[in-house]
Amino acid sequence: MITQKDSRLPNASGFVLSAFLMIVVLALPPFAQAEGPITDRVSDEVPGPGIRRADDDQGSIEDRAVSLFRFNPDSVQRSWPEDRSVYLGIKERDQNSIEMLGLKVLLGDSKDGLVCGRLLEHPADSDSINPESRVQRIHDLARWIEDSARLPEFRDQYLSYFGAGGHVDPDFLIYTSPHSNVARLYGEVIFEIREKVPRGVDLNRLNRLEYDYYEKLGWADQLNPKRILIREILDRDEYVIPSHVPHDEVESVTIRARLPKAFHAGLARLTGRVQRRYRRGSSGVSTWVDMTDRNGKFMARICFEEDRQTIPVPEQPESTSAIPLAVRDAIESLEVEGKSVRIAYSAS
């Protein structure tokens, strides 16, 4: 679940904080592109790994992964790095619900995951919604994207900053960044995503190389601090993925501390230190998720109840940080596709 991008600009009271964010995040190094072409390509005619045709009748969200990668400039496609990670920050809700979503995704929930704003127009995160209905909506959206992307005006309308997307962000896209420090400005729960086959669009380079967007900006927009915050920080190297992210493309989930609203500046929100991090592990027999502290020390190993006897004993150094009681209770009450989730081992 991901909410659509918020289009609010920082207000006057947040100007000082906005300037601080600009100084901190602009210190990020530019994303380096790997040399050489990527080996796998996705086309309309031949589905690649994880891609299915629109008329396939499949039962999980992985089966309808749709690609817009061909809309990237040629130079971007030729130099696209393999094993690239991008990051998505989401604001936490009550009862650690986004954190628990991340855990479900890492445990392999094939009927839930990270979806675009259009899919959230329906109560997709409600317990009353049938998972099969959710999957069907994903399939329907994938068909719409595939059909619309064949129209000649699609790129100008949805991917150009001068088009409709320049004012109202298309709600069928998920907005990510290759910079984790940018993702943390959007929320406390940060998902690390690594696509098996690239499906998204590098909006910044598309608009810079194909539309000359930045050269055509007027002086008022170029010098406006609010616009600079968005252009140079919040949307820096923005990479958009259509429709949804399958669970096996989520590498890790990082939880940062919440900070008071006084640290928010319109769209931007400062988040605190890393509290814990979740990462998937596997032995070939069973799958689990390790929880570690900010220093990478072991806090807990989480698995399905039926797999507890096959989960290996952790060998990494133990953390002195305790698992918050609310988080422990939420984990122990979690179910993924009818399977109960349990903490197999925890730091003493």
Q: Where are the domains of the chain?
A: 12-28+53-248, 275-346
Residue 333, both tokens: 């009450």
In the sheet where 239-242 sits, what is the strand order? 173-176, 239-242, 201-202
CA distance 158 to 216: 19
Which long-range CB contacts under 8 A does 158-163 form with residues at least 24 apart?
Answer: 159/68, 159/71, 159/201, 159/203, 159/206, 159/240, 160/206, 160/207, 160/211, 160/213, 161/203, 161/207, 161/211, 161/213, 162/211, 162/213, 162/216
Give one DSSP letter per residue of 279-312, joined into a string: EEEE-SS-EEEEEE-TTS-EEEEEEEGGGGGGSP
Q: How many helices (H) and strands (E) does the chain have?
A: 11, 15
Q: Each residue's pLDDT tens digit in the chain (348 positions)?
A: 343 354 333 344 444 444 455 444 444 444 433 322 222 222 232 222 233 333 444 456 666 789 999 999 999 999 888 889 999 999 998 889 999 999 999 999 987 779 999 888 554 454 445 667 878 888 999 999 999 999 999 999 999 988 876 666 899 999 999 999 999 988 999 999 999 999 999 998 999 899 998 888 888 888 888 778 777 787 888 999 999 999 999 999 999 998 877 666 566 678 899 999 999 998 878 899 999 999 999 999 999 999 999 999 999 999 999 999 999 999 999 999 999 999 999 997
Q: Give this prediction's pTM.
A: 0.81
CB-based contact 234:216 (threshold 8 Å) = no
